Amino acid sequence: MLQTPRGTQDILPEDQKYWQKIEKTFEKVASSTGFEKIETPYFEYRKIFEKGIGTTVKTFFQEIGLKNLAFEVNSLGCPSCRSKMRKVIVNYYQQYLNVICASCKNRFEKNPMRLLDCKEAVCQEVISGAPALIDSLCTNCKEHFKSTLEFLDEMQVPYDFNPRLVRGLDYYTKTIFEVVPQDKTSSLGGGGRYDNLIESFGGQPIGAIGVSFGIERIILEIKKQEIEIPETPKLELFLVQLGDLATKKSLSLLFKLYNQGFRVSVALEKTGLKSQLKVADRLKVPYSLILGQREARDNTIIVRNMLDGSQDTIDLKKLMDYLKKRLFPPTS
Q: What is the pLDDT of residues 230-288, one digit of tens each?
A: 777 788 999 999 988 888 888 889 888 988 889 888 887 777 899 999 999 988 999 99
Say if CB 277 and CB 288 are below 8 A apart.
Answer: yes
Integer Cα distance of 92 and 89 in angstroms: 5
| CATH superfamily assigned to domain 15-31+45-78+138-224 | Bira Bifunctional Protein; Domain 2 (3.30.930.10)
Distance of CA 131 to the CA centre of its chain: 34
Helices (H) and strands (E) in the chain, counts: 13, 10
The CATH classification number of 237-323 equals: 3.40.50.800
pTM above 0.75, yes or no: no
Q: Tell me the domain boundaries of the chain.
A: 15-31+45-78+138-224, 237-323
Q: Do domains 15-31+45-78+138-224 and 237-323 have the same CATH topology?
A: no
pLDDT digits (tens, 9 = 90+) for 149-170: 998 888 888 899 999 999 877 7
Backbone angles phi, psi at 109, to 5 degrees: -80, -40
